[in-house]
Chains A and B, each alone.
Chain A
């Protein structure tokens, strides 16, 4: 007898009955809530629900990850944020602590050894952003705190390993989530062999992260045509060997993009030159060169110069909880899409030491800025790659480089994620004016409700909804709180009120496990 698997009937049906699943001999597990993803989005929701009193046996996290911060660390490390470097996140955006207090800066000061190390973070948050750059935590501090909180909420007991291929509505309410377990998985004794496990739940939460890394079309075409994945790399792919080769011989690197990741790459290249003696020349190619503040309205104008648009975080701070958040909540889909683009887009934080580094590079001639549209990317002489651009004066310019680093973006279309694509074709979900999932203000995925069950999502796939900073620690926590409140309103757990909030905060401070 072959292993049980999804049948053609199941794959084509938008809605399944319990009998459909039983007839396919798929093993079924009942649990009130399933969170798909297992990264920081799932972690934020589960943390909030556990604080709200939901026991761990009422939640299953379907994931391929061992740790909630695993994907984040992978992407951060590749894009040049090792554990001792600081990420771009606010002191109060504490992903391991739903209150935002004590902040990362306070904890860094508390744990520091010397008086100076204690004073520095406190002084910085006190003076930011006017007299100092924004304080931001070291990535290592974030990871360690996530691991600590994972243990406290009994995270590992909720994990089920595998890839979720689809979530379908159930006749009678709730959803079926179909998990493909890892190779070598065997069903419990007495159950027939199966390639899938079906989770039957009232509620589903999707936190599947980035659908995939986005590549510039011309670079992707070059990589495939010339089978060259060595010299043309994406910033989000591990590419440490590039920096190692640059230390060995004088080389030229072309960097594309002008956001935070491009800045990180430039900083790494220029610091290697200053500190380790690399003889690297950096060609920085801009498509849109920003040489003045952005915006005509003095009340809505962003700092811009030297090619970059500057702001502390992905969005202005008030997008997370102030007047810009309220403004966004009042707009319709196209209006939200426009405001999100205006507040966000490609930007990078202003940090005094980074500015000085780029300035020294400009003066020394080893950091050169170029502006233009790429016409072609071709193999050049002596193992170089020639990028032909058309500059603003319509002149053709050739830039030869030993390496090209694409630092233009992480996000590709949501339909590239199999689960999200299935949700669009079979689950009732639709696209927003922004092109991602159409969302309700409560972070419910519009069009997917199956009473009494509800389906929610958080993270990158929800951008364009009623919140801009969805793809940030604080945004994941905000989504988690909205979802937890919405679930409480239909009887799943209770709304966290003042007394529970205070009681659970003290429990967090003692690092005492949440029972259940």
Chain B
């Protein structure tokens, strides 16, 4: 992926709102919930999506700055996957602070990792089938 800053942010928001949300709806019923009611888990996981979306603008600024030191001005797909580590930690801390009763780290972990992988896989492949010009526009959708 060779994103521009605008393209990074737009792609993140678009994918979280589509495949990210759809995946969350599908996966929550089968997540290990440690006895928590499904409604609470939905609330916590959707909140996690919001946090990743909202904090994303900040993260993307950081990635964009790092990208400037790469001659190719590209963003290897390995990096895009590895972003999950710092972002996941921060998202957990924030969600945990907002929702005092949960979610359990196990629930959060399985939801976060699977959602990240699904979004990442979509971004590096099938998204192009839907948005033909996306790859020429530095990831911009609008």
Using a CB–CB distance below 8 Å, which chain A residues touch chain B? 92, 98-103, 106, 125-131, 298-303, 311-312, 316-318, 320-326, 478, 481, 496, 498, 501-502, 505
Given contacts A126-B78, A323-B4, contact A99 B72 (CB under 8 A): no
Q: B126 contacts which chain A residues (CB < 8 A)?
A: 101
**B116-142 interface mask toward A, CB cutoff 8 Å, 1 = contact, 0 = none?**
000000000110111111011110000
- Contact B136 A320, beta carbon cutoff 8 Å: yes
Q: A501 contacts which chain B residues (CB < 8 A)?
A: 129-132
C-alpha gap A127/B78 in the complex (Å): 6
Given contacts A103-B125, A501-B129, A501-B130, contact A321 B73 (CB under 8 A): no
- A and B contact pairs by CB, cutoff 8 A, 7 listed: A100-B135, A102-B125, A301-B71, A302-B71, A318-B73, A318-B138, A498-B131
Q: A478 contacts which chain B residues (CB < 8 A)?
A: 136
Given contacts A298-B69, A317-B2, A323-B4, contact A502 B74 (CB under 8 A): no
B78 CB, min distance to chain A CBs, angstroms: 6
B-side interface mostly: loop
B20 in the interface (beta carbon within 8 A): no
A340 CB, min distance to chain B CBs, angstroms: 15
A-side interface mostly: loop
Q: B130 contacts which chain A residues (CB < 8 A)?
A: 498, 501-502
**B88-122 interface mask toward A, CB cutoff 8 Å, 1 = contact, 0 = none?**
00000000000000000000000000000000000
B77 in the interface (beta carbon within 8 A): yes
Residue of A106, A323, A498 near B138 (CB, 8 A) is A323
C-alpha gap A501/B134 in the complex (Å): 12
- Contact A322 B74, beta carbon cutoff 8 Å: yes
- Contact B4 A505, beta carbon cutoff 8 Å: no
A501 CB, min distance to chain B CBs, angstroms: 5
- Contact A130 B71, beta carbon cutoff 8 Å: no
- Contact A126 B135, beta carbon cutoff 8 Å: no
Given contacts A99-B132, A501-B129, contact A322 B73 (CB under 8 A): yes
Q: A303 contacts which chain B residues (CB < 8 A)?
A: 71
- Contact A317 B72, beta carbon cutoff 8 Å: yes
A74 CB, min distance to chain B CBs, angstroms: 29
- Of residues 42 through 82 on chain B, the ones whose CB sits less than 8 Å from some CB of chain A are 68-69, 71-74, 76-79
Residue of A101, A129, A323, A326 near B129 (CB, 8 A) is A101
Name B1's closest neighbour in chain A (CB-CB).
A322
Residue of A92, A312, A505 near B135 (CB, 8 A) is A92
B2 CB, min distance to chain A CBs, angstroms: 3
- Contact A316 B74, beta carbon cutoff 8 Å: yes
C-alpha gap A407/B127 in the complex (Å): 40
Name A294's closest neighbour in chain B (CB-CB).
B71
**B1-15 interface mask toward A, CB cutoff 8 Å, 1 = contact, 0 = none?**
011110100000000
C-alpha gap A324/B138 in the complex (Å): 10
- Contact B125 A323, beta carbon cutoff 8 Å: no
- Contact A299 B69, beta carbon cutoff 8 Å: yes
Name B127's closest neighbour in chain A (CB-CB).
A101
- Contact B136 A325, beta carbon cutoff 8 Å: yes
Q: B72 contacts which chain A residues (CB < 8 A)?
A: 129, 311-312, 316-318
Q: A302 contacts which chain B residues (CB < 8 A)?
A: 71
Q: A127 contacts which chain B residues (CB < 8 A)?
A: 78
C-alpha gap A127/B137 in the complex (Å): 24
C-alpha gap A299/B66 in the complex (Å): 10
- Contact A128 B76, beta carbon cutoff 8 Å: yes
C-alpha gap A311/B7 in the complex (Å): 24
Name A505's closest neighbour in chain B (CB-CB).
B129
Q: B77 contacts which chain A residues (CB < 8 A)?
A: 125-126
C-alpha gap A99/B132 in the complex (Å): 6
C-alpha gap A129/B79 in the complex (Å): 11
Given contacts A326-B4, A498-B130, A502-B130, contact A321 B136 (CB under 8 A): yes
Q: B137 contacts which chain A residues (CB < 8 A)?
A: 321
C-alpha gap A325/B136 in the complex (Å): 9
Q: A103 contacts which chain B residues (CB < 8 A)?
A: 125
Q: B73 contacts which chain A residues (CB < 8 A)?
A: 316-318, 322-324
- Contact B78 A300, beta carbon cutoff 8 Å: no
Q: B131 contacts which chain A residues (CB < 8 A)?
A: 498, 501
Q: A126 contacts which chain B residues (CB < 8 A)?
A: 77-78
C-alpha gap A498/B125 in the complex (Å): 15
Residue of B74, B79, B128, B136 near A481 (CB, 8 A) is B136
- Contact A101 B128, beta carbon cutoff 8 Å: yes
